[in-house]
Amino acid sequence: MTDAGLEASWIALWSIVGALVGSFGNVVVYRWPRGESVVRPRSRCPRCSRVLGPLELIPIVSYLLLRARCRSCGVRISPRYPLVEAAMALGFGLLAWAYPVHEAGLSALPLMALYAMLLMAALIDLDTYLLPDGLTITAAFVAVLGAFVYAPELGLPGPGEALFGAAVASGALVLINRLGGLVLRRLKDTSERLWPLSLDTVNIAALAGMLGGLRLALVVGSLQVLLSAVTRRPLRLSEPVVYAAWLVSLLLIVSGVGERWGVGLVEGIAGSVAGAGTFAFLGALWWWLVDWRRGDRRAPADAAGAPEDDDGEPVAMGFGDVKLAAPLGAMLGWDGFLVGLLMAVVLGAVIGVAQRLAGGSRFVPFGPFMVAGAFLALAVGDALIGWYLALLGF
Ligand SMILES: [Zn+2]
């Protein structure tokens, strides 16, 4: 076979794998939020409960052959199932094409795994306004481990950049979560009381980072956890007070006064965001493991973009989105993540306006836009940044 023929078969092979993963993904998206097993029992027609035969389980093809209907009872099958399979096939095929094995080694594999997990997470968010921790937190680990596999010179982050990217991404979203929540509560303190690792850790790390950079944020956050553990009660400062101090520090840093004690603009802001994000993610991991040990059968998940959190406090950004940001930041690095976030906001605004014009009123969560924005940034982010810099005359 020619080189071109070999490459085409390779891409076709991965597209087929993608379609199969998409078929499994449909099962996961349907069953995970219901707390059902994703491997058993076998797939059935939702109306007549007949177990589907092998010829009805071929991704995309079965849907077309059956003309979108169940073979026995004739109930209509949603076009979403073949669309998800096609989207997964397309994504896998594009990744196999963009990161060919002879140049990129195994780089495409972690990206395919991330694409599959994040697409499932986005669909579950769309259906239920929840993002399962099992998908978002696991994806964060896949994204950081993937950074050890990527071939150099592909523009993908190395391990250090992936960790920093995850911290900045989670941090950006947790700060929107805290500051937005504070505004929505009309500056009243939060009623959340967690121990020993909590949002108080995130808040104090955000302040320390602004005043002294990332290292200070990590030290102060760790001390807060340690002291809370030793004193056996949550060591907390009122949230409005912490963020008032945070805002004053930000103004001092922006106006250059911070230089007097040796903290520059970039160091302060990066330290605050990455410090807050580090403890937000560690907290998420901690509480996920606690739920797991308690044997919480309900699929652990967190509100993502729903207008209220579990305690009924209004939120600007669900904590599920904070966890979702971690794998996106690890996959793209902090700069790519911000490009993706910008695209997510633009996409969200466009779809939101289109939905209003069409007369719809359903609340659309932000998670799916974050995932779409991130993969757009992976595809065209570098080109976009280059074009923008050229526009500015660099
Ligand atoms: Zn049926």
3-state DSSP of 242-265:
HHHHHHHHHHHHHCCHHHHHCCCH
What is the model's pTM?
0.92
302-328 pLDDT, tens per residue?
555 444 555 567 666 678 999 999 999
Taking the centre of ligand 1 as the mean of its atom positions, its distance from the CA of residue 76, in whole angstroms, is 9
- Tell me, in angstroms, the distance from the centre of ligand 1 to residue 47's CA: 5
Kindly state the percentage of the chain with pLDDT values over 70.
Answer: 94
Residue 124 CA to ligand 1 centre (angstroms): 24
Cα distance between residue 391 and residue 394, in whole Å: 8
Instruction: Tell me the average pLDDT across 91-96.
Output: 97
Name the residue with higher pLDDT: 318 or 51: 51
Distance 52 CA to ligand 1 centre (A): 9
Q: Which helix (H) or strand (E) holds 26?
A: helix 3-31
Q: Which residues sit with Cβ closer than 5 angstroms to ligand 1, an ion?
A: 45, 47-48, 70, 73
Number of H helices, E strands in the chain: 12, 2
pLDDT one-digit tens code per residue, 231-271: 988 888 999 999 999 999 999 999 988 888 888 999 999 99
CA angle 171, 176, 178 (to 5 degrees): 90
Please say if the pLDDT value at position 131 is more than 90.
Answer: yes
